[in-house]
Amino acid sequence: MVRHTLQTRGHIHSIVRNDGNLYLGNLIHYFRAVFFNAPNVNHPYHNFRHMCHVLYLCHDACIFYGDKLTPREMRNLLIAALFHDFDHSGATGDDSLNIARACDGLLWHLAPEDMEEFQNIVEIIRGTEFPYKVTSEMLTLSGQIIRDADLSQNFSVAWIQQVVFGLAEEWGKNPIEVLKMQEGFMNNVLHYITEWGQQRFPTSDIEGKIAEARALVEILTAEPVVQ
């Protein structure tokens, strides 16, 4: 399977409408639910951008796994992606509580046609709980995809704003502290289990981001040069 170019990946409106007829139905109902009702849309990190970023990447993975995921499984994965951080506290603490709030929000907004799939969607969402209680190898393919996608905000063009400043605000830390943590995170946590994740974010890209984070730390912490 070849790595997709930017031109082949859909925009959010196209994904939500299912313009490519990739998965079952469309996500208009759920997108409206998140847009108008999610309490966390303006959080520094666990916000609307992050939820849509995970949706975008999971849709990309659905294209990649078109012969391994059914349209119903794709729909469940994409609903889970949109709702995985619904009503996130935006603070440190027991992430199982955030997962519970996300599942409660999903149940509240669940469309009738998805009632029988609720538990399957919940299981996918639970794969994003961090620190991980279940190894990636024990997850279904959908669970592995959403976990890989959830790790990937570092590769967005706005990663410094979203990850460094965003998490610093949510964690009550100085941004330079979070920036210094990025090398360790990318070395020790940022490992992709899916074939899609490994091709979408190859080791060379991870190494490049580590070098970028290291260089930024050096710039920000070096003694000023007297001219």
pTM of the model: 0.93
For 161-197, what is each residue's pLDDT tens digit?
Answer: 999 999 999 999 999 999 999 999 999 888 999 999 9
DSSP label at residue 8: G
DSSP label at residue 111: -
Cβ within 8 Å of residue 151, ≥6 positions away:
189, 190, 192
Amino acid at position 130, single letter: F
CB 129 within 8 A of CB 96: yes
Predicted confidence at residue 78, as pLDDT, reads 98
Predicted confidence at residue 157, as pLDDT, reads 86
Question: Among residues 217, 129, 128, 221, which one has the least CA distance to residue 181?
Answer: 217
CA distance 60 to 148: 12
State the DSSP string of 150-163: HTGGGGSTTHIIII
Domains along the chain with CATH numbers: 6-221 (1.10.1300.10)
Amino acid at position 62, single letter: C
Regions of the chain with pLDDT less than 70: 1-10, 225-227
Find the helix packing angle between 71-83 and 95-109, rounded to 10°. Answer: 120
Structure tokens at 174: 């100085």
| CA-based R_g, the chain, Å | 18
CA angle at 95 for the pair 49 and 115, rounded to the nearest 5°: 75
DSSP label at residue 104: H
CA distance 126 to 179: 27
**HSE-CB of 55 using CA atoms within 13 angstroms:** 31
Can you give 150-211 as a three-state secondary structure string? HCHHHHCCCHHHHHHHHHHHHHCCCHHHHHHHHHHHHHHCCCCCCHHHHHHCCHHHHHHHHH
